[in-house]
Chains A and B, each alone.
Chain A
Amino acid sequence: MKILTNPSAGVDTTMMLVFVVAVLTMPFWLTLIGAGYPDLMQKFVIFGLFATGFNILFGLTGYLSFGHAAFLGIGSYTAVWSFKLLGMNPIPAAIFAVAVSGVFALVIGFISLRRSGIYFSILTLAFAQMCYALAYSVLTPITNGETGLRVIGDDPRILDGIITSGVNPSTPTVNLFGLDLTQTWVWNGYYFNAGFYFCAIILIIGSYIAMRIFRSPFGLMLKAVKTNQNRLNYTGVNTKPYTLAAFVISGMYAGLAGALLCITDPLAGAERMQWTASGEVVLMVILGGMGTLMGPMLGAGIIKFAEQKFSTWGKTELHEFFAFIPDGIRDTVVSVASLFVGSGWHLTLGLVFMLIVIYLPGGIVEGGRRILMWASGSNRRNRKLQAAAQAAE
């Protein structure tokens, strides 16, 4: 059990390998639970990346940003503009999205990080809402406002043909040097989508970088900021460059995730910058386990899966689901349960979130750990060990 709480390089390698295999085989095992279609799988990996990046800021430094959706949106708009001006290749789109969102994160982070705690959260929220308002109505010529920014037939796309090939000029799709990313291969009912694999590879790279950051001296410094920033300041350490770096890195992850959203579906709407989107990523990280490597990805997957399932359920599905209950009672059960599905699925999300925060503050990852410990029968011994470790801190 020691290795789980205090990982060594060997464990990291194993974990990374398991993760890579799990991500690449998603089409197989997700099909078993009815989630193996391209759109949802793409969402899993993209929001997994978003949450992973957010965790670098929130999980390590403890700074809670309520405005990361702004970077997601900035990344999206940059990517679509890259498609429109340069061509349908996803690589320049992703690079520009990371760069531009990084610049925005630098500016917003520089100002917001003058404060900490709740004031920092409110500042980031204010900036994100400003970005949203700009995109929604003020900067309409750049963002196309409510209609959403799309790639259209007569965009210049000056490098199309050089960095892409075989793009249909009237309905252009994202194209990686000739490979159409909207392409799906079907084999025995399993879907293998090119766009999904593109995102999956980026997620794997992103997770690897996140892991290296977690294990680096820089990551250790960020954890120190979370534990006691005052003590660091008293010892003469200037923490601002560290927190700002963490903010910019997580902003770049968000920008990259935004670009991937447009790589899988080339449309950027202002809605994805709204505060609800910023709140969603906070939920993902807390639900999965903040400060853990794999937790945020789990959280993202569970929330996106639940959204897709519960938000489309209606009374018919509930009647089928509760078919085992006798008729008389079933109607009552269904009418109560129907409050929690469809447009009311946020109620379900809220309940689950409350349960997690109250009973499992470490998120699903902590739940998994507890089960492991219980299974290995070393429950009591480890609690003692943990208590001892905490006392030593």
Chain B
Amino acid sequence: MSLIKTNIDRRGVLKGTAAAGLAAPMFMNGKAWADAHAYLNAPTGKSVTLGFNVPQTGPYADEGADELRAYKLAVKHLNGEGDGGMMNTMTVKGGKTGLTGNGVLGKKVEYVTGDTQTKSDAARSSAKKMIEADKAVMITGGSSSGVAIAVQSLCQEAGVIFMAGLTHSNDTTGKDKRANGFRHFFNAYMSGAALAPVLEKAYGKDRKAYHLTADYTWGWTQEASIAASTEAVGWETMKKVKTPVGAGDFSQYITPVLESGADVLVLNHYGNDMVNSLTQAVKFGLRDKQVNGKDFTIVVPLYSRLMAAGAGENVKGIFGSTNWHWSLTDEGSKAFVKSFGQEYGFPPSQAAHTCYVQTLLYANAAETAGTFNPCGIVEALEGLEFDGMGNGPTLYRADDHQCFKDVLVVKGNENPTSKFDILEVVEVTPAEQVTYAPDHPMFTGGELGECNAGA
């Protein structure tokens, strides 16, 4: 999908991508011809519009609500309202950013929102509306990898930038990666690489795992990643069972677990699904059982505070991994937690964090490039090294548009001191340990392609 096509050259930024015969037909459009670097939805007035596409209904609605809060906060900070949050702590390539609180490139930041409903169809339709009717130059958000991948490919075809929100599937920057799409959040492979050593230390080498997996791209890749990394430390994978997203009742899937002879249950679920499946597993008494002479345990590879809060008491002592946690004490995290808390009265979730950071990174890239042209943004973000955003030094890798940074291994807090103090950070796994080669077999099969400016 591409609006307003002309035959103006695209700025091929990626090395090695053959300029596939994109014979853009010639169509007359006075404006586009006059501007040599035309791009879709170029802002003409005093403001620039961003599109926040988050789940406001469905199983991931809690995450979506928190993402939206973070986006609104980021817009405030970019426009110079509030205390500036992470804009004060953010550094790129060791130096200061171009963000001054005067909007982006002197234009006031405005936004439109949409509801993805956690459905690919609805998410694409909502993104299309924002691009076509509201003239958004960038789409961001999503709390499901299925949605993120669908919207990312739409943005590639349309010619706008997609800054992925919470999406943890390997495929988002693996076989479904796109030149116009960027992901700050970590992925399933990283979760596996960070979790496996901690699990080995806590539970030993001789364990039998049973996987319950959300039946879509995220679940599939997380199951594969966790199985691979735990098998590498000696565990055995007994069975992998797929469950439909939003199932609500997981009892039919949990009953067979005990009869299988497994002694670890891996829940590859997220959002309300995880809350339900974990609560039901605990209610069924799984954690009180002894199997193979060991205590039965549960692992939730992708954790979030919102989910842990939903599951209540049941999360105590359960291991998982997370992209970021509000209890971190670096300057960036402290600044963000402070301004988020002042605005809304409670600490932000990891979903809020990644969305806030993505917005600032986009804004900074536009300042660096001096334009909102997607190809300029791609150039500015590829290979970008930044710090002060809560995750330590971070690299936006040019090969797949994935951020590489430290990963947190967390555990359900046994003795919480407040209702937000539900997870405790067990280990900060350094970025080197979770870094993989761009041609790792779990990530191959797709190509970034060429950046598309849509004009």
Contacts and interface: CB of A to CB of B under 8 A. Distances in A.
Interface of A: 34, 37-40, 43, 136-137, 140, 145-148, 150, 152-154, 166, 168-171, 173, 180, 182-187, 191, 265, 267, 269, 271-272, 308, 311-312, 314, 342-343
Ranked nearest first, the 6 interchain pairs of A and B with the lowest CB-CB distance are A146-B216, A148-B120, A182-B1, A37-B132, A39-B128, A269-B121
B207 interface: no
A39 B121 contact: no
Contacts of A166: 21-23
B280 interface: no
Interface in B1-45: 1-5, 20-23, 25, 27, 29
B129 A37 contact: yes
Nearest to A182: B1
B132 A150 contact: no
A136 B244 contact: yes
A269 B124 CA distance: 11
A154 B27 CA distance: 30
A40 B125 CA distance: 9
B113 interface: yes
B128 A265 contact: yes
B399 to A, nearest CB: 16
B431 to A, nearest CB: 29
Nearest to B158: A182
16 contacts: A37-B133, A38-B132, A39-B129, A152-B175, A153-B446, A153-B447, A169-B20, A171-B157, A180-B5, A184-B2, A184-B4, A186-B3, A265-B124, A267-B124, A308-B129, A343-B115
B1 A265 contact: yes
Nearest to B246: A146
Given A145-B216, A170-B20, 14 more contacts: A38-B132, A40-B132, A146-B216, A170-B450, A171-B178, A173-B2, A182-B157, A183-B5, A183-B25, A191-B132, A271-B117, A272-B121, A312-B112, A312-B113
A286 to B, nearest CB: 24
Tell me whether chain A's interface is mostly helix, strand or loop, or mixed: mixed
Nearest to B449: A170
A213 to B, nearest CB: 30
Interface stretch (B146-154, B191-199, B324-332): B146-154
A183 B27 contact: yes
A183 to B, nearest CB: 6
B156 interface: yes
Contact of A148 (B21, B121, B178): B121
Chain A CB within 10 A, most for which of B57, B244, B449: B244
Interface string B104-145: 000000001111010111101100110011000000000001
A168 B175 CA distance: 17
Contacts of A140: 215, 242
Nearest to A140: B215
Given A265-B124, A312-B129, A145 B153 contact: no
Contact of B150 (A180, A183, A267): A267
B133 A40 contact: yes
Nearest to A37: B132
A267 B153 CA distance: 10
A267 B121 contact: yes
Contacts of A180: 2, 5, 25
Contact of A185 (B27, B114, B154, B215): B27
A308 B126 CA distance: 9
Chain B CB within 10 A, most for which of A146, A152, A173: A146
B445 interface: yes
A148 B176 CA distance: 13
A169 B157 CA distance: 12
B245 interface: yes
Contacts of A40: 129, 132-133
Nearest to B57: A343
B56 interface: yes
A88 to B, nearest CB: 12
Contacts of A168: 20-22, 449
Contacts of A267: 120-121, 124, 150
Contacts of A265: 1, 124-125, 128, 154
B217 interface: yes
A147 B146 contact: yes
Given A154-B445, A183-B25, A269 B119 contact: yes
Contact of B146 (A34, A146, A183, A191): A146
Nearest to B450: A170
A173 B447 contact: no
Contact of B3 (A137, A170, A184, A314): A184
Chain A CB within 10 A, most for which of B3, B150, B175: B3
Contact of B2 (A153, A154, A183, A269): A183
Chain B CB within 10 A, most for which of A171, A272, A314, A342: A171
Nearest to A185: B27
A154 B245 CA distance: 27
A146 B214 CA distance: 9
Contacts of A37: 129, 132-133
Contact of A271 (B114, B122, B145, B449): B122
A137 B242 contact: yes
B21 A39 contact: no
Contacts of A153: 446-447, 449
Contacts of A173: 1-2, 157
A148 B150 contact: yes
Nearest to A169: B20
B150 A271 contact: no
Contacts of B156: 171
Nearest to A172: B157
A44 to B, nearest CB: 13
B128 A171 contact: no
B6 to A, nearest CB: 11
Interface string B435-448: 00000000001110
